[in-house]
């Protein structure tokens, strides 16, 4: 049985469901939950995840979320805590296959929330995205800011809209009293085990630097982002879900230290001792169908600092070294790297 704050009142291990648990962030989260003794079930269709990411000790159901909630392994069981990370992640995937990405992000979340409401499970943490802020109206993004999107003819905004709908759905359930939820807007999250093939900038740079190939910087490279190590992020997720005062609320989570993409490329070259050159690639070449980039993206972390005393601890240079080491082992992340939390 579960209380809204996620505290267990029985002696058995906490039953936890992690959707997207074979993915980058999900696999780090699963490792930390297993480490503290939770009984973890993963649902992942491996569309971008990798079964080799899954730490020993979790029950793995290879299926979509909507498929899995009808299966006997999950049945009508109640989960004490749920982390919903399964999604078509990032603007790049949406640009490549918008219909699939939009349907995935909205349908899977709706199906999961219906299942959790029916079984009396929860609370649930919804992994949302800084993309929800859309076109920045300010330099620093705060949770209660208005959001502004471009026209529907520009595909990139559909990712933001899907994540916004997910937030509305979860908060709707919360206010109706059917499931307790917390919404977490993740900013750029990086670390060992992340792969570059879905467009994520840092693993792309590290992979290129290790191969001695050019580091391709889109635009003029002066756009800035804040990168947070996945181990800092994963440390914070259970605390957000287990702090009763956080339920029903939206939190930014990430680092608030900006770096330009050109500086990031130079840092990767320096840290890895690579002789790769850095080349600027016009957006029109990277995205022939049109793209609108955000110049700066930085979270206001006041709310999450106040709620759980969150502070990112792992420096970007360390993260770069750990990504490179994991790539050197064919993408495998060691227990020591996961445990750095």
Ligand X SMILES: NC(=O)c1ccc[n+]([C@@H]2O[C@H](COP(=O)([O-])OP(=O)(O)OC[C@H]3O[C@@H](n4cnc5c(N)ncnc54)[C@H](O)[C@@H]3O)[C@@H](O)[C@H]2O)c1
Active site positions, annotated: 159
Nearer to ligand X, 30 or 209 (CB): 30
188 binds ligand X (CB under 6 A): yes
Q: Report the residue from 16, 17, 18, 25 that binds ligand X according to the rule CB under 6 A.
A: 25
Span of 17-25, 169-177, 292-300, 307-315 interacting with ligand X by CB under 6 A = 17-25
CB of 1 to ligand X, least distance (A): 27
d(CA 54, CA 41): 11
Nearer to ligand X, 11 or 294 (CB): 294
| DSSP string across 1-46 | -B-TT--B-SSSPPEEEEETTTSHHHHHHHHHHHHTT-EEEEEE--
Residue 256 token pair: 């608030």
341 binds ligand X (CB under 6 A): no
How many chain residues touch ligand X (CB under 6 A)?
28
Q: Report the residue from 82, 85, 125, 261 that binds ligand X according to the rule CB under 6 A.
A: 85
CB of 70 to ligand X, least distance (A): 13
Kind and range of the H or E run holding 217:
strand 215-218
**What is the x/- site pattern for ligand X, positions 101-130, by CB under 6 A?**
---x---x------------------x-x-
Q: Report the residue from 4, 5, 8, 47 that binds ligand X according to the rule CB under 6 A.
A: 47
CA nearest to 240, candidates 230, 253, 231, 229: 253
Nearer to ligand X, 89 or 326 (CB): 89
DSSP for residue 332 = P
C-alpha distances out from residue 150 to 70, 95, 146, Å: 37, 14, 14
Contacts of 64 (CB under 8 A, 6+ apart): 43, 45, 86, 104, 108
23 binds ligand X (CB under 6 A): yes
Q: Report the residue from 24, 157, 287, 310 that binds ligand X according to the rule CB under 6 A.
A: 24
Q: Is 271 left (phi over 0), alpha (psi -120 to 50) or beta?
A: alpha
Nearer to ligand X, 227 or 287 (CB): 227
43 binds ligand X (CB under 6 A): yes
CB of 84 to ligand X, least distance (A): 7
Task: Label residues 265-300 b or e (16+ Cβ within 10 Å = b).
Answer: bbbbbebbebebebeeeeeeeebeeebeebebbbbb
- Three-state SS string over 57-81 comes to CCEEEECCHHHHCCCCCCCCCCCCE
Strand ranges in 85-198 using DSSP code E only, listed in sequence order: 124-129, 140-141, 181-186, 189-190
**What is the x/- site pattern for ligand X, positions 241-280, by CB under 6 A?**
----------------------------------------
Span of 15-23, 168-176, 267-275, 332-340 interacting with ligand X by CB under 6 A = 15-23
Q: Which residues bind ligand X (CB under 6 A)?
A: 19-20, 22-26, 43-49, 64-65, 85-89, 104, 108, 127, 129, 186, 188-189
């Amino acid at each position: 049985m579960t209380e809204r704050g996620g505290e267990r009142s029985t002696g058995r291990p906490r039953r936890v469901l992690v959707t997207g648990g074979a993915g980058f962030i999900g696999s780090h989260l699963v490792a930390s939950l297993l480490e503290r003794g939770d009984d973890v079930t993963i649902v992942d269709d491996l569309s971008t995840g990798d079964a080799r990411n899954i730490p020993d000790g979790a029950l793995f159901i290879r299926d979509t979320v909507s498929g899995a909630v009808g299966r006997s392994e999950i049945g009508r069981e109640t989960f004490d805590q749920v982390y919903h990370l399964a999604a078509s992640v990032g603007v790049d995937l949406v640009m490549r296959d918008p219909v699939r990405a939009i349907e995935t992000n909205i349908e899977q979340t709706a199906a999961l929330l219906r299942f959790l409401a029916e079984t009396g499970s929860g609370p649930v943490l919804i992994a949302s995205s800084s993309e929800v802020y859309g076109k920045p109206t300010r330099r620093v993004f705060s949770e209660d800011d208005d959001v502004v999107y471009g026209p529907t003819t520009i595909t990139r905004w559909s990712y933001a809209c899907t994540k916004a709908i997910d937030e509305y759905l979860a908060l709707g359930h919360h206010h109706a009293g059917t499931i307790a939820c917390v919404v977490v807007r993740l900013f750029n999250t990086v670390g060992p085990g992340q792969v570059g093939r879905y467009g994520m900038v840092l693993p792309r740079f590290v992979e290129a630097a290790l191969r001695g190939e050019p580091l391709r910087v889109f635009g003029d490279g002066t756009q800035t982002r804040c990168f947070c190590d996945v181990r800092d992020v994963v440390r914070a997720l259970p605390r957000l879900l287990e702090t009763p005062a956080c339920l029903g609320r939206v939190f930014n989570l990430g680092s608030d230290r900006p770096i330009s993409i050109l500086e990031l490329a130079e840092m990767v070259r320096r840290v890895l001792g690579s002789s790769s050159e850095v080349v600027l690639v016009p957006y029109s070449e990277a995205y022939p169908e049109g793209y609108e980039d955000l110049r700066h993206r930085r979270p206001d972390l006041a709310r999450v600092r106040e709620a759980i005393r969150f502070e990112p601890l792992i420096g970007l240079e360390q993260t770069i070294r750990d990504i490179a080491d994991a790539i050197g082992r064919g993408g495998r992340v060691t227990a020591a790297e996961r445990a750095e939390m």
